[in-house]
Structure 1
Amino acid sequence: MQDKLKLGLVGLLVAAGVVGFYLLPETQTVLRVLVFVASVAAGAAVFWFSAPGREFVAYAQESLVEARKVVWPSRKETTQMTMMVFVFVFVLALFMWLVDSSLSWLFYDVLLRRG
């Protein structure tokens, strides 16, 4: 129940920041931005202390640990794979063009005799 109240408060804080941004005159741009940033920061602080906030932080930390485990390909491997993709796309485009031209010839020239 407390977490639902905290999440509701987060929503209200962010909504108050948006409303405050639009209620302040356009001539006070710095104040408008500060009000919005302060409300988002306050909402983030409240979210941080809720259970979903703690779960999100744990998830983000685990994601960073997993991202460090990734083995990135070398420049040579990346170039080779890119060239393979380009060749495959070219061959596929050529094949599709041949099929389209053949079917067009078959239907329009042979079957329908429209030449």
Structure 2
Amino acid sequence: MNTKAEEPKGTNAADIGKLVLAGLVLVAGIFAYSWLGRDGNISPSVRLLGVLAALVISLAIAAFTALGRRVRNFIAESQFEMRKVVWPTRDETIKTTGIIILVVIVLSLLLGLIDLILKSVILDWLLKLGG
């Protein structure tokens, strides 16, 4: 559990303005991509670079809001928690995968056998008795 003091969750007007500006920059980049593509004079790779630049600029603007700080803190804490994970060795992974494949094969054969038994009971015995 995180023992840090929680930041206030409210959003002020400056943060809202920054988020709106980031959205406008991104929309402008997407609009410019389609607008500049109408004439065919500008190559698609240059237009794509423009959209990527607009995306990077909008993310940079959004990073300086309270929401952006919370996202950065979340990513930093996630990376810290990922360092605590004990990953299985290659040998453990291969053995576990083999066991899972074996269980899947056994269960599929068992379900196939149950299906075959039910089919023979219903088609051969019950329908012949009724007909």
For residues 66 and 114 of structure 2, the distance between their equivalents in structure 1, rounded to whole angstroms, comes to: 58
Alignment-mate amino acid for residue 95 of structure 1: L
For residues 116 and 21 of structure 2, the distance between their equivalents in structure 1, rounded to whole angstroms, comes to: 63
For residues 113 and 95 of structure 1, the distance between their equivalents in structure 2, rounded to whole angstroms, comes to: 26
Question: What corresponds to 1:9 in structure 2?
Answer: 21
In the superposition, the TM-score normalised over structure 2's length comes to 0.81
Alignment-mate amino acid for residue 71 of structure 1: V
Alignment-mate amino acid for residue 26 of structure 2: V
In the superposition, the TM-score normalised over structure 1's length comes to 0.91
**1:71-90 matched pairs, under 5 angstroms:** 71-90=86-105
Consecutive unaligned residues of structure 1, counting only runs of 5 or more, are none
For residues 125 and 56 of structure 2, the distance between their equivalents in structure 1, rounded to whole angstroms, comes to: 71
For residues 85 and 100 of structure 1, the distance between their equivalents in structure 2, rounded to whole angstroms, comes to: 22
| 1:8-40 Cα shifts (integer Å, max 9, x gaps) | 211111111000011113331243123212211
For residues 63 and 109 of structure 2, the distance between their equivalents in structure 1, rounded to whole angstroms, comes to: 55
The SS at the match of 1:70 is coil
**1:1-115 matched pairs, under 5 angstroms:** 1-25=13-37, 26-29=40-43, 30-113=45-128
The SS at the match of 1:112 is helix
- Deviation at residue 43 of structure 1 after TM alignment: 0.4
Consecutive unaligned residues of structure 2, counting only runs of 5 or more, are 1-12
Task: Give the number of the structure whose residues are more often helix, by fraction.
Answer: 1
Runs of 4+ residues deviating >3 angstroms: none
Alignment-mate amino acid for residue 94 of structure 2: T
For residues 52 and 112 of structure 2, the distance between their equivalents in structure 1, rounded to whole angstroms, comes to: 54
| 1:62-81 Cα shifts (integer Å, max 9, x gaps) | 11111111111011111110
Count matched residues: 114
The SS at the match of 2:128 is coil
